[in-house]
Structure 1
């Protein structure tokens, strides 16, 4: 789709869900995940396995240049007892801390993360996001995320281990994935898109500047399916560069701000793909970081 047509489609979806769940709503499309959806997702569990979908966190975790890398500090270890010169007590313990940028590794973007003009999701003022945190649509408002997860393995569907850096994932790519998996997309689904990018590409500054991913037209299509959330195994979900001069992250703007749809980034999806698991119970519990614009995650595919 041409840029002008994609922008027109985006405008038609603008404010799609504003007021849908009330004027004070801060959860957006996660409201679609009610008791019926959770119960249906639980019925997908057959093997009794929980597969983690998160990257490991340490000082070597790939991090964009503008964000600090994770830093892990030990406050107490076995050496502290030796240095004291006293006989060690029967019960000894270790203690540590981690400094972590919230938009690092596997995480979920809260709805306060992106806005344009004067408003973020649901018409809340941009002035609600201050140096003390997001006073609307912060990470603490997301709550548990449980529903039917769908893996759309675009890389494998297109016969690749990893998509080319300039590949914009198209609607027909996602439809091809659904066809190969013999599945249909339903409202309230949680869609995970595999590009192969994160596991295949070395972490470098260019990794965070260019990547394959859904373009704006594809994001519009996903929003029209009324899904609950979307994520991918790359840095920023969407194809980079976006191809738009006026904004760098049009997919973020559409999903987070216009539609109230949380975004998962940095997912580890290779295990699911290698086992050809395309439908599962998805479980994630964002940390209730008051005023946070994102939360680290260890999401699970329960099969």
Structure 2
């Protein structure tokens, strides 16, 4: 056996070449974010030349501050409660005593390595993207599954593309947030469609995963209730799904590992969609 040969089928796949699609957003000062969370900030307390060692070497370092639901991130089950209860009937007020959620915090989210499915709804409807406030219905989801030939199974991670992610780089961050225009996405019915298929996690290319009605912002978030509180399904928000859509990739290995932030309600993430491809084509 040569150094490049292996009996492990997984390593054989890797050796054959992988194509990696980065689904995370760069973290930058001033990027679009929900007004409900502390913004991202980055600074350099020490720059090169501030302190030089005797051998001429110098090091720079950083400090960041941010909310855990800023940029591409995953919602822990502790993030949302309904009528005083979190997932599993956990008392929301009692669980937060001490300033951390030990039972359902971000540290309880195991690394995710699962089958991923992209449901490219605008492509199904023959559109580049959906308009503000458009509700993605169960019929839209069924039609997308049928067109793509990608049935959704138990334990999958389902990413719903609306095309709204193209607004992330708009000079006005408010365009992506979409308070006045509304934001496309699933509502309670679409979330129930996902829950009925017992998915492990669901994600979207929008600020709050679900449909936001024009002028209402985050006034109500029924899909969060259905997924997080009623069914224990994680939510991933602010994904970059344009590249994978353009590549025509609808089924892939989804890889995501949250930071083990003990007791936190969410975590920044950098999800990856991995498919087999020519050796050296990963990007």
Change (3 A) 1:211 1:171: same
Q: What residue in structure 1 maps to residue 212 of structure 2? A: 240
The alpha carbon displacement at 1:65 in A equals 2.9
Change (3 A) 1:252 1:74: same
C-alpha separation in 1, matches of 2:213 and 2:21: 32
Q: What residue in structure 1 maps to residue 76 of structure 2? A: 110
Q: What residue in structure 1 maps to residue 153 of structure 2? A: 186
Partner-residue secondary structure (3-state), 1:143: coil
Determine if contact 1:189/1:227 at 8 Å carries over to the other structure.
Answer: yes
Q: What residue in structure 2 maps to residue 14 of structure 1? A: none
Q: How does 1:47-66 map to 2 (within 5 A)?
A: 47-66=17-36
Partner-residue secondary structure (3-state), 2:57: coil
Determine if contact 1:65/1:205 at 8 Å carries over to the other structure.
Answer: no
Q: What residue in structure 2 maps to residue 129 of structure 1? A: 96
Partner-residue secondary structure (3-state), 2:18: coil
Unpaired runs of at least 5, structure 2: 1-8, 276-283
Change (3 A) 1:233 1:205: closer
Taking structure 1 as the reference length, what is the TM-score of the superposition? 0.79
Partner-residue secondary structure (3-state), 1:134: coil
Q: How does 1:63-78 map to 2 (within 5 A)?
A: 63-78=33-48
C-alpha separation in 2, matches of 1:149 and 1:46: 20
Q: What residue in structure 2 maps to residue 223 of structure 1? A: 195
C-alpha separation in 2, matches of 1:107 and 1:281: 18
C-alpha separation in 1, matches of 2:14 and 2:193: 25
C-alpha separation in 1, matches of 2:45 and 2:227: 41
Change (3 A) 1:182 1:45: farther
| CA distances 1:249-278 after superposition (whole Å, capped 9, x unpaired) | 111011101101110000011110000000
Match of 1:96 among 56, 62, 65: 62
Q: What residue in structure 2 maps to residue 196 of structure 1? A: 163
Taking structure 2 as the reference length, what is the TM-score of the superposition? 0.84
**2:229 paired with 1:263:** no
Q: What residue in structure 1 maps to residue 281 of structure 2? A: none
Determine if contact 1:166/1:239 at 8 Å carries over to the other structure.
Answer: yes
Partner-residue secondary structure (3-state), 1:301: strand
The alpha carbon displacement at 1:131 in A equals 6.0
C-alpha separation in 2, matches of 1:80 and 1:269: 41
Q: What residue in structure 2 maps to residue 150 of structure 1? A: 117
Match of 1:284 among 241, 256, 261: 256
C-alpha separation in 2, matches of 1:168 and 1:157: 14
Greater shift, 93-102 or 128-137, is seen at 128-137
The alpha carbon displacement at 1:64 in A equals 2.4
Change (3 A) 1:205 1:180: closer
Q: What residue in structure 2 maps to residue 7 of structure 1? A: none
Q: What residue in structure 2 maps to residue 164 of structure 1? A: 131
What is the number of equivalent residue pairs in this alignment? 258
C-alpha separation in 2, matches of 1:242 and 1:128: 34
C-alpha separation in 2, matches of 1:185 and 1:205: 31
Change (3 A) 1:243 1:207: closer
Determine if contact 2:114/2:156 at 8 Å carries over to the other structure.
Answer: yes
Unpaired runs of at least 5, structure 1: 1-38
